[in-house]
């Protein structure tokens, strides 16, 4: 592994000119669906990250693949960047127009195109959100498990290789996208796969596009896997005397091969913030939130085994839920953690970390980072998809205090360096965006990043597809 | 979808010159590990396909990543192709030196480098075979589930995105390779991932390399997932009155979400051939072979449900096995099908098909193709990983009768066209190689293949990495 590089908040911005002729062409073609109003541009020039950049020159609301292809063709003629925009929930600056250009708003491409319940697949437009998708397939007895927290679009989730709480059992977008339709940098439309469950037909363009953050093409259609709703679902929360005890329990659950559907850690800080926010009285101790899917007997078996493992580490105060309402109540702590944290320090911004390490290294990685965070004086909370070795510190910084951001970035830098030493990754699910470009080089080495750049240059020779993300170019 | 293109048996062969200076350099560097003996070259110039081509100019036995890098660098200086060779079990002509060049024999790079039992991962050299791997990890209580039938190397299985009987539960090489070390066309060494279970760190080079059939680089190290050996394993065979009944049972098993570990179809022809070959007296009817993994209760539950579904389609004569010995006996019919078929027509060659369709289309795809095969007069057998919608006809042709090959290829062409109409793929697990190049275009369209070519040209500008496979170039 190379030596860690210094943190760099934003790469040098090289805004490219958007010629008035392009705006004129877009206006002529899309009329009121092309907006240059500052408020619209500003809304499309930011995401949930704490980065800022001048907004895009225009926003075009696409309603079809043909629209997207036409926008890309026009932008290509003028060498102007295009940036696909779903609902703006990305966390690492993916949506910022760092080199200027046109934002393509995909949110109106929000139709579920075909549900193939017999094959457990569904094909959707990119603007469909995960909650909408689950609503629309509900009557089939199937569901789409990937849950990154935010009600993100399936297009955005594909572009960032998202995952979340259910990934420990159902995998990430990497495992759950079967095929894509993509508009390429030349404005051509390609398909990257079929509805067959597996294939050895040539290069895996589907998975090359998944996680490419809009830099290789604009995703205009996605076929994903669905799963039968489990016959039985049971949820539990359990408090532990220490983070370490909770983590060691998780490690054993995974190593024993328990097919747990969710196993989430929240720290005592989070519980405290959630209690204040939601007027609850949860024990202010580290907590695991778990969910079991299967047959009634299977769920019972899993739950008993997990209870035994938890008891071995001092886990107690198990609380169980099996109806949807009770489950929602139990999970409130996890679901509200982010907003409860925001509320705990009014006006703050959250700097979120996203490391993921092999499960055996999880305790090492976490405990040292907690010591550092505690010593820093920056308020924080900690939540994690610990079954996958993935966790997030949320450092709550005062955006008016540059020093606080500096400290938070330094903490993140130490954490990422530690995760990489422990054979992990700088981003488990949020993506590289603008924030992790240097870490990516440290993680994969110059050779791999050089190959990524080579692919990008070959597929997008004018560098118009969301340029300046993942690596500088 | 484009109109199906005519079958083309072998692309026009453009043998490239291998200059004596390159052979001299390889000899100087590798001494007796570089062979130009005809018998060695011929052994490395063929695979299990029925294609023929002049052998490579030399074979070099690599023993380290540095060896591979050095071979590639030397070959690159002379613009000469390199073709990685594991144990020669590929089925579509992947190993043939259609443009001449050097075969790199990887079989001596056969060390298991590190077993991380706590993380359920293992890192191996590419020449390790799957049986060897399972032998070496046995004491940890873990296993590697991917089983393509042949005792292939992990390197070769990665290169062709192999899968096999367990894929219905455990996925394919696509889902099970975590990270690779790869020697690129310039002789550089890159790493494509970490041991973290998931990552959003840049382009998914791991999955770009998996299934690239040696055309983008030589895989020199592979980290794969392992799984805890199930607490209980139970196997069953069940005969059905018709293929359709067996297939309809399978479809219901999958749609109900039963986590079956294996569900294999063999047709009555196969059973007949196996009975003759192994002196057995199995019912000469279509048969499902199944395996269930889980806790004792879980396995029992799965088995009961499947039995009920099978009974609904006239499935009977269930035979169960739970000890390893009994399981081996039950599975003999499946494992011996290929050799039993070969023996049923001495001197024959097998033309194997490899389509995979969405599960709801499986009966349609299979039944019409059986009618065609029956009408052709060519002896055949049929086996399938039907839980994934993937199956193989084996047409047993007399290699001295060109007419028979023509008929078999025509049958395959009809089958692939049907599978593509039903939203399936021309290759579920064997790869494109030389055999499916035209089908790949029909399946994915010119645009996707053009993108694959663009990537290939950018990463391998001299076109020296196993050229002429997947697409003509």
Domain boundaries defined on chain B:
20-107, 112-228, 230-339
C-beta atoms surrounding B368 within 10 Å: 13
Q: Percentage of residues in chain B with pLDDT exceeding 90?
A: 89
Q: How far apart are CA B121 and CA A464, in angstroms?
A: 39
Q: Name the token pair of B171.
A: 């996925």
A196 lies within 8 A of chain B by CB: yes
pLDDT of residue B4: 33
pLDDT of residue B67: 98
Largest CA distance in chain A: 69
Q: What average pLDDT does this structure show over B64-85?
A: 98
Q: How far apart are CA B339 and CA A426, in angstroms?
A: 49
Q: A10: pLDDT confidence band, cut at 50, 70 and 90? A: low
Q: B436: pLDDT confidence band, cut at 50, 70 and 90? A: very high
pLDDT of residue A8: 40
Q: Which CATH number fits domain B230-339: 3.90.550.10, 3.40.50.970, 3.30.70.1520, 3.30.70.3450?
A: 3.30.70.3450
> Tell me: the pLDDT tens digits for B214-233?
999 999 999 999 999 999 99
> Tell me: the pLDDT tens digits for B4-18?
333 344 555 677 899
Q: A301: pLDDT confidence band, cut at 50, 70 and 90? A: very high
pLDDT of residue A332: 80
| SS3 category, B170 | helix
pLDDT of residue A3: 34
> Tell me: the pLDDT tens digits for B88-139?
999 999 999 999 999 999 999 999 999 999 999 999 999 999 999 999 999 9
Q: How far A369 CA sits from the closest chain B CA (Å)?
A: 18
Q: Which residues of B touch A431 (CB under 8 A)?
A: 200
Residue A135 pLDDT > 70, yes or no? yes
Question: B360 and A118: CB-CB below 8 Å?
Answer: yes
**By the 8 A CB rule, do A415 and A395 touch?**
no
Q: How far A400 CA sits from the closest chain B CA (Å)?
A: 30
Sorted by sequence, the CB contacts under 8 Å of residue B70 that are 6+ apart come out as: B29, B187
DSSP secondary structure, A208-274, as one string: HHTTSTTSS-EEEEEEEE-EEPPSEEEEEEEE-SSHHHHHHHHHHHHHTT---SEEEEE-HHHHHHH
Q: Give the residue among B59, B61, B51 at the shortest CA–CA distance from B96.
A: B51
Q: Which residues of B touch A119 (CB under 8 A)?
A: 358-361
Strand B287-294 relative to strand B232-239, pairing:
antiparallel
User: In A47-69, which positions are buried (b, 16+ CB within 10 angstroms) versus exposed (e)?
Assistant: bbbbbebebbbbbbbbbebebbb
How far is CA B65 from its chain centroid?
Answer: 24
Q: How far A220 CA sits from the closest chain B CA (Å)?
A: 15
Q: How far A331 CA sits from the closest chain B CA (Å)?
A: 24
Interface test with A, best of B119, B145, B160, B202 (most A CBs within 10 A): B202
B211 lies within 8 A of chain A by CB: yes
Residue A210 pLDDT > 60, yes or no? yes
Q: What average pLDDT does this structure show over A174-184?
A: 98
B2 lies within 8 A of chain A by CB: no
pLDDT of residue A32: 97
Q: How far apart are CA A35 and CA A81, in angstroms?
A: 16
Model pTM?
0.96
Interface of A with B in 303-342 (CB under 8 A): none
Q: Which residue, chain included where needed, has tokens 């010629």?
A: A19
Question: A184 and B447: CB-CB below 8 Å?
Answer: yes
**By the 8 A CB rule, do A413 and A4 touch?**
yes
Q: Which residue, chain included where needed, has tokens 């204040």?
A: A276
Q: Is B51 exposed, middle or buried (0-12, 13-18, 19+ CB in 10 A)?
A: middle
Q: Name the token pair of B282.
A: 């199995």
Q: A20: pLDDT confidence band, cut at 50, 70 and 90? A: very high
A418 lies within 8 A of chain B by CB: no
Q: Name the token pair of A125.
A: 């437009």
Q: Name the token pair of B265.
A: 């179809």
Question: B202 and A359: CB-CB below 8 Å?
Answer: no
B466 lies within 8 A of chain A by CB: no
Q: How far apart are CA B213 and CA B261, in angstroms?
A: 27
Q: What average pLDDT does this structure show over A446-463?
A: 98
**By the 8 A CB rule, do B166 and B147 touch?**
yes
Q: Which residues of B touch A433 (CB under 8 A)?
A: none
Same fold, A230-329 and A345-430: yes
Q: Whats the size of chain A, residue-wise? A: 473
**By the 8 A CB rule, do A436 and A355 touch?**
no
pLDDT of residue A13: 60
Q: Name the token pair of B289.
A: 């072979």
Q: Name the token pair of B366.
A: 């299979």
Q: Which residues of B touch A451 (CB under 8 A)?
A: 184, 190, 205, 459
Q: Which CATH number fits domain B112-228: 3.30.465.10, 3.20.20.70, 3.40.1160.10, 1.10.340.30?
A: 3.30.465.10
Q: How far apart are CA B362 and CA B391, in angstroms?
A: 9
Q: Give the residue among A429, A427, A430, A428 at the shortest CA–CA distance from A438.
A: A427
Q: Which chain B residue lies closest to A168 (C-alpha atoms)?
A: B197
Q: How far apart are CA A455 and CA B83, in angstroms?
A: 22
Question: B201 and A430: CB-CB below 8 Å?
Answer: no
Q: How far apart are CA B392 and CA B277, in angstroms?
A: 20
- What one-character DSSP code corresponds to residue A470? S
B143 lies within 8 A of chain A by CB: no
Angle A436-A437-A443 (CA atoms, 0-180°, nearest 5)?
Answer: 80
Helix or strand holding residue A112 (H, E): strand A112-116
Q: Name the token pair of B307.
A: 């039995």
Q: What average pLDDT does this structure show over B351-355?
A: 96
Interface of A with B in 148-187 (CB under 8 A): 160-163, 167, 171-172, 174-175, 184
Cα atoms in the 13 Å half-sphere on the side-chain side of A110? 19
SS3 string, A71-105, reads HHHHHHHCCCCEEEECCCCCCCCCCCCCCCCEEEE
Residue B65 pLDDT > 90, yes or no? yes
Q: Give the residue among B132, B149, B41 at the shortest CA–CA distance from B91.
A: B149
Q: Which chain B residue lies closest to A199 (C-alpha atoms)?
A: B428
Q: How far apart are CA A226 and CA A216, in angstroms?
A: 26
Q: Which chain A residue lies closest to B457 (C-alpha atoms)?
A: A458
Residue A317 pLDDT > 80, yes or no? no
> Tell me: the pLDDT tens digits for A356-380?
999 999 999 999 999 999 999 999 9
C-beta atoms surrounding B377 within 10 Å: 8
pLDDT of residue B3: 34
Domain A345-430 bears CATH identifier 3.30.428.10: no
Q: Give the residue among B8, B129, B424, B44 at the shortest CA–CA distance from A200.
A: B424
Q: How far apart are CA A213 and CA B359, in angstroms?
A: 31
Q: Percentage of residues in chain A with pLDDT exceeding 90?
A: 89
Q: Give the residue among B150, B169, B173 at the shortest CA–CA distance from B161.
A: B173
Q: What average pLDDT does this structure show over B28-56?
A: 95
Question: A432 and B203: CB-CB below 8 Å?
Answer: no
Q: Which of residues B51 and B440 earns the better pLDDT score?
A: B440
Q: Which residues of A touch B218 (CB under 8 A)?
A: none
Residue A9 pLDDT > 60, yes or no? no
- What one-character DSSP code corresponds to residue B49? S
Top CATH class, B20-107 = alpha beta
Interface test with B, best of A181, A451, A454 (most B CBs within 10 A): A451
Q: Which residues of B touch A448 (CB under 8 A)?
A: 190-192, 202, 205
Q: Which of A121, A200, A227 sits opposite B431 (nearest CB)?
A: A200
pLDDT of residue B6: 34
**By the 8 A CB rule, do A393 and A373 touch?**
yes
Q: Name the token pair of B270.
A: 């196969």
Helix or strand holding residue B397 (H, E): strand B390-397
Q: What average pLDDT does this structure show over B67-75?
A: 98
A436 lies within 8 A of chain B by CB: yes
Q: Which of A211, A360, A458 sits opposite B455 (nearest CB)?
A: A458
CATH code for the domain defined by A230-329: 3.30.70.3450
Q: Give the residue among A265, A290, A233, A279 at the shortest CA–CA distance from A367.
A: A265
Sorted by sequence, the CB contacts under 8 Å of residue B178 that are 6+ apart come out as: B121, B193, B194, B195, B196, B197, B206, B223, B224, B225
Q: Is the ipTM of this complex over 0.85?
A: yes
Interface of A with B in 108-137 (CB under 8 A): 116, 118-121
Q: What average pLDDT does this structure show over B310-332?
A: 88
| SS3 category, A107 | coil
**By the 8 A CB rule, do A92 and A138 touch?**
no
């Amino acid at each position: 592994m190379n030596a860690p590089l210094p943190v760099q908040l934003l790469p040098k911005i090289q805004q490219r000119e958007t010629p008035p002729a392009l705006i004129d062409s877009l206006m002529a073609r899309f009329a009121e669906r092309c907006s240059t109003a500052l408020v619209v541009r500003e809304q499309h020039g930011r995401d949930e990250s704490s980065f800022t950049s001048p907004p895009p020159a225009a926003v075009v609301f696409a309603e079809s693949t043909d629209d997207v292809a036409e926008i890309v063709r026009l932008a290509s003629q003028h060498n102007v960047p295009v940036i696909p925009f779903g609902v703006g929930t990305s966390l690492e600056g993916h949506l910022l127009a760092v080199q200027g250009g046109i934002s393509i708003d995909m949110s109106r491409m929000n139709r579920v195109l075909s549900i193939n319940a017999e094959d457990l697949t569904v094909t959707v437009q990119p603007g469909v959100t995960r909650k909408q998708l689950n609503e629309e397939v509900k009557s089939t007895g199937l569901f789409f498990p990937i849950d990154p927290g935010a009600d993100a679009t399936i297009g955005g989730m594909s572009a960032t290789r998202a995952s979340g709480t259910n990934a420990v059992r159902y995998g990430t977008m990497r495992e759950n996208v079967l095929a894509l339709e993509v508009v390429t940098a030349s404005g051509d439309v390609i398909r990257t796969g079929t509805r067959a469950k597996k294939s050895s037909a040539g290069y895996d363009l589907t998975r090359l596009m998944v996680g490419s953050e809009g830099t290789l093409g604009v995703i205009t259609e996605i076929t994903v896997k669905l799963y039968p709703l489990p016959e039985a679902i049971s949820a539990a929360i359990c408090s532990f005397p220490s983070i370490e005890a909770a983590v060691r329990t998780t490690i054993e659950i995974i190593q024993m091969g328990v097919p747990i559907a969710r196993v989430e850690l929240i720290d005592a800080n989070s519980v405290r913030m959630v209690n204040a926010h939601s007027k609850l009285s949860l024990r202010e101790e580290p907590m695991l939130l778990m969910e079991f899917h299967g047959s009634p007997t299977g769920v019972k078996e899993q739950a008993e085994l997990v209870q035994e493992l938890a008891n071995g580490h001092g886990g107690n105060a198990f609380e169980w839920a099996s109806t949807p309402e009770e489950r929602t109540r139990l999970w409130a702590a996890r679901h509200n953690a982010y907003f409860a944290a925001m509320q705990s320090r009014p006006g703050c911004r959250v700097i979120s970390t996203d490391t993921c390490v092999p499960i055996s290294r999880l305790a090492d990685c976490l405990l040292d980072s907690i010591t550092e965070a505690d010593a820093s004086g920056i308020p924080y909370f900690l939540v994690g998809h610990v079954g996958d070795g993935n966790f997030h510190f949320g450092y709550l910084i005062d955006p008016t205090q540059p020093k606080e951001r500096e400290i938070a970035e330094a903490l993140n830098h130490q954490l990422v360096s530690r995760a990489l030493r422990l054979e992990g990754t700088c981003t488990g699910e949020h993506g590289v965006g603008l924030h992790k470009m240097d870490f990516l080089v440290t993680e994969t080495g110059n050779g791999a990043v050089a190959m990524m750049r080579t692919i990008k240059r070959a597929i997008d020779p004018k560098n118009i597809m969301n340029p300046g993300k993942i690596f500088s170019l």
